[in-house]
Amino acid sequence: MSDWKRGVLGKLGLDCMELTPEDWVLALLYVDGKSRLMGEASLHTIFFLYPYPSFKFTTLLVTVYSEELHRVLNDLINRGLVRKKIEYVNGRLVVTYFLTERGSAAAAGLVNEMTRRWVMLDGFIVREGRRILEELESLKRTYNGRSPRMLLKVILDKIRNEEPAMGLRLEEGALTYLKALIQGMERDFFY
């Protein structure tokens, strides 16, 4: 954060911090009682739906994907902060992700700091850190563990209903094209 921004925000009484891509993932894994994240698709979908992190996404045939988010997750695994495990959950094999002891300690410090401070997003939007944590927890509780088909349906429903967050993640031409495809597929495929 630049000195002049820090100065202006300080004059307003806002103690701000910025989150790294790693911080976003650690915070998500920490909320909801540090519950495990069931499937990398849940991770990508949650951050696709949440408009504040600056992850760039590609729309694949049946899901959304962020190369940066994938790299961050693998880096956290390689650094021993996150553990990856294959588990049998609700009748299917699922790759789960959860904080290690070291990761939990790092995330606890981050979350503690976030609850006391404001977070600068994309260099200009400022939100209360505790509010971001509440929103991440809500998204995790809602979408974690959903099947890939359900996650796809959620994204398609949000595109069809023209939710504002979709306009932040997808270009206008892509949104228009996807809405037309969804309308044509509704009777035949998903709905």
Label residues 106-131 b or e (16+ Cβ within 10 Å = b). bbeebbeebeeebbbbeeeeeeebee
Residues 89 and 23 occupy one common structural domain: yes
Residues 63 and 24 occupy one common structural domain: yes
CB-facing half-sphere around the CA of 139: CA atoms within 13 A: 25
Domain of residue 184 covers: 147-191
Whether pLDDT at 183 is above 90: no
Q: What's the mean per-residue pLDDT of the chain? A: 89
Q: What percent of the chain has pLDDT over 90?
A: 57
Residues 89 and 128 occupy one common structural domain: yes
pLDDT tens string 97-154: 999 999 999 999 999 999 999 998 877 778 899 999 999 999 999 999 998 889 988 9
The enclosing domain of 119 has a CATH number of 1.10.10.10
Tally the domains of the chain.
2
Q: How far apart are alpha carbons 159 and 154 in whole angstroms?
A: 9
